[in-house]
Amino acid sequence: MSMTATNSALRSRDRAGECVRADAELAALIKLQGRAQFVRLGNHCQLAELGSGFVYIVAKGVIGIECSVVSGVRVITALLYPGDVVVPKLQAPLPGLVLTSQRPAEFWKIATTAFVEETSRDDQLWQTIFLRLNAQNARQQMHTAAMSALNSEERVAAFLVESGTRLGFPSGRSISFELPLSRYGIADYLSLNADTVSRTFSALAAAKIIERRGRFQISVRDWSALEAKCPLSEAIIKLHAAGKPSLTR
């Protein structure tokens, strides 16, 4: 099989695995689907365009919340995964808020009134939403801690541990996944220069900790070595692996 065909097969397998995980994340929220409109947004969508009278549930993909803190500087403040809840009206009043993703993002769009009706008469559904929002808050706390305390190599390792835990699946002795962000997106998320991200990826590849298989395909060949690169690895895995099978080390 040619390298192009191999990479295509890996991408297809990654996306199939992504769909399975997305379905699992959405299962607990299935009662909302009947009141929702399925919408597909572009790679960049102004948050203001979503409307203040709706709640959005991420249905597929990994989406970044991006803003412009100062002119010419973009920052991705959070990543959203399937099952996460977005309430446009409750977002911080940061300038230039957009949703950004590698591929068009897919959501359940629910009128706020319908959302309140469904959750108010179903305690289990409300508890699920409550726990989901708390998990999103915990992830933002983790990200803030990483940005405050970790150096550039540790931040990149933290991102790979998060992505591998969330999106990865065992492939032989490796853990393979598709990066949810471009090199520039990763830099924006980690508050780093894109060249620094590239150099760190190259150093990890040279150390045989990771292997690049195309622009977005990653295989972590030595998961334990990757974990050792970041002092927050154990906490990140505990936070992002809830309800998922343990990854093979």
- Both tokens of 127, joined, read 């508890």
- Give me the mean pLDDT over the 198-224 stretch: 93
Query: Which CATH number fits the domain that encloses residue 43?
Result: 2.60.120.10
Query: Which CATH number fits the domain that encloses residue 181?
Result: 1.10.10.10
- Is residue 22 domain-shared with residue 142, that is, in the same domain? yes
Q: Whole-model pTM?
A: 0.85
**Cα-Cα-Cα-Cα dihedral of 82, 41, 9, 174, to 10°?**
-40
- Is residue 83 domain-shared with residue 172, that is, in the same domain? no
- Is residue 115 domain-shared with residue 28, that is, in the same domain? yes
**pLDDT tens across 21-57, in order?**
556 678 889 889 999 999 998 888 998 888 889 999 9
Task: Classify residue 175: in a domain, yes or no.
Answer: yes
- What local confidence, expressed as pLDDT, does residue 21 receive? 56
Nearest Cα residue to 81 out of 98, 61, 55? 61
Phi, psi of 168, deg, nearest 5: -80, 160
Nearest Cα residue to 229 out of 156, 164, 139? 156
HSE-CB for 106 with a 13 A CA cutoff: 11
Calculate what percentage of the chain has a pLDDT beyond 90.
65
- Is residue 114 domain-shared with residue 218, that is, in the same domain? no
**Burial 3-13, CB ≥16 within 10 A → b, else e:** eeeebeebeee
- Give me the mean pLDDT over the 102-117 stretch: 92
Any bridge partners for residue 79, and if so which?
64
- Is residue 140 domain-shared with residue 160, that is, in the same domain? no
**Residue that terminates a domain, selected from 146, 180, 210:** 146
**Residue that terminates a domain, selected from 146, 173, 191:** 146
The mean of the pLDDT values for the chain is 87
- What local confidence, expressed as pLDDT, does residue 102 receive? 85
Residue 249 pLDDT grade (very low, low, confident, very high; cuts 50, 70, 90)? very low
- What local confidence, expressed as pLDDT, does residue 23 receive? 65
- What local confidence, expressed as pLDDT, does residue 6 receive? 46
- Is residue 15 domain-shared with residue 43, that is, in the same domain? yes
**Residue that terminates a domain, selected from 102, 117, 146:** 146
DSSP 62-84: -EEEEEEEETTEEEEEEEE-TT-
Query: What is the C-alpha to C-alpha distance for residues 58 and 50, in angstroms, rounded to an integer?
Result: 13
**pLDDT tens across 158-180, in order?**
999 999 999 998 877 789 999 99
**pLDDT tens across 72-107, in order?**
788 999 999 999 999 998 898 888 899 999 888 899
- What local confidence, expressed as pLDDT, does residue 42 receive? 85
Residue 242 pLDDT grade (very low, low, confident, very high; cuts 50, 70, 90)? low
Range of the domain at 161: 150-240
Q: How many domains does the chain have?
A: 2
